[in-house]
């Protein structure tokens, strides 16, 4: 599937993949900061934003293949920097392991290599069933929202929380259900991490309650050429919650590549 995307800036290409159930608008800061020096391509993954929302399950590997198809359509068939946040990180890992010739470097933000536990997978299936039956995504969104942000973000940036809430609630019910089911069956990629040969930046949010810093430390230890940067005053959405140090870490990493 060819995805909707933004395409900003000059220079080497950096692909940025959003989390669930967000869309490419989450990269607004990076489109201007990183986009001043690099060509930032930020797609809406299937079912999200302006991309098509097919029926059925959305496996992470199918989402990854959509990204490759979209890059092919842009005739970008060489190795690129690929980055993703949370679900976008699962997709970036899938690309790095299944299409290694397409990846020059990797950026894994607020994400993990592990699969869902059986309980987490069951909970996702249950939520998918509820969303499908009711056609209402709000219960899933309301359940996720308290865990997405650092306490300081709730206090200092309520407008950001409201914007993200609004954006998540726009994702169609069948896309939320299809993605929940796809995430529930994603493979555990932990044993594959040593195969990733490219430079990798791992970004953690110091107050991420969904993916604690220790899990990001384990991810970084598993990849031979990885470095870890922990962003203060940030929860699960570091590039949105505290974009200045996140952008600085990204730009420093990119500069080290060329």
Instruction: List residues near ligand MLT by CB under 6 A.
Output: 19-20, 86-87, 183, 210, 236
Find, among 86, 13, 21, 37, the residue nearest to 239 by Cα.
Answer: 86
Annotate 93-147 with DSSP letters as a single string: HHHHHH-GGGEEEEEEES--S----HHHHHHHHHHHHHHHHH---HHHHHHHHHH
Distance in Å, CB of 12 to ligand MLT, minimum: 26
Closer by beta carbon to ligand MLT, 48 or else 174: 48
Distance in Å, CB of 5 to ligand MLT, minimum: 18
Closer by beta carbon to ligand MLT, 33 or else 171: 171
Contact criterion met (CB below 8 Å) for 81 and 105:
yes
Closer by beta carbon to ligand MLT, 209 or else 227: 209
Closer by beta carbon to ligand MLT, 145 or else 210: 210
Annotate 63-83 with DSSP letters as a single string: HHHHHHHHHHHTT--S-EEEE
Closer by beta carbon to ligand MLT, 13 or else 91: 91
For the chain, what is the largest distance between any 2 Cα atoms, rounded to a whole number of angstroms? 51
Query: Cα 42–195–1 angle (5° rounding)?
Result: 35
Distance in Å, CB of 135 to ligand MLT, minimum: 21
For residue 81, what are the β-bridge partners?
14, 105
Distance in Å, CB of 123 to ligand MLT, minimum: 10
Distance in Å, CB of 40 to ligand MLT, minimum: 19
Contact criterion met (CB below 8 Å) for 112 and 190:
no
């Amino acid at each position: 599937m060819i995805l909707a995307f933004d395409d900003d800036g000059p220079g080497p290409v950096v692909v940025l993949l959003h989390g669930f159930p967000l869309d490419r608008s989450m990269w607004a800061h990076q489109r201007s900061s990183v986009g001043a020096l690099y060509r930032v391509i930020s797609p809406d993954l299937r079912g999200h934003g302006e991309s098509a929302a097919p029926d059925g399950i959305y496996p992470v590997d199918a989402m990854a293949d959509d990204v490759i198809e979209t890059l092919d359509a842009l005739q970008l068939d060489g190795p690129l920097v690929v980055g993703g946040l949370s679900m976008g990180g699962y997709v970036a890992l899938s690309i790095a392991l299944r299409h290694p010739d397409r990846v020059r470097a990797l950026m894994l933000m607020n994400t993990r290599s592990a699969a869902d536990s059986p309980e987490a997978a069951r909970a996702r299936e249950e939520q998918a069933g509820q969303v499908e039956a009711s056609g209402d995504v709000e219960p899933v969104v309301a359940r996720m929202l308290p865990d997405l942000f650092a306490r300081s973000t709730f206090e200092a940036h309520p407008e950001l929380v409201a914007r993200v809430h609004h954006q998540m609630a726009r994702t169609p019910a069948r896309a939320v259900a299809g993605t929940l089911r796809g995430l529930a069956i994603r493979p555990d990629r932990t044993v594959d991490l040593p195969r990733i040969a490219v430079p990798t930046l791992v970004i953690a949010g110091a107050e991420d309650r969904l993916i604690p810093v220790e899990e990001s430390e384990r991810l970084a230890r598993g990849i031979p050429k990885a470095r870890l940067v922990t962003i203060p005053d940030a929860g699960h959405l570091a590039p949105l919650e505290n974009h200045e140090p996140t952008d600085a870490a990204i730009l420093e990493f990119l500069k080290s590549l060329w």
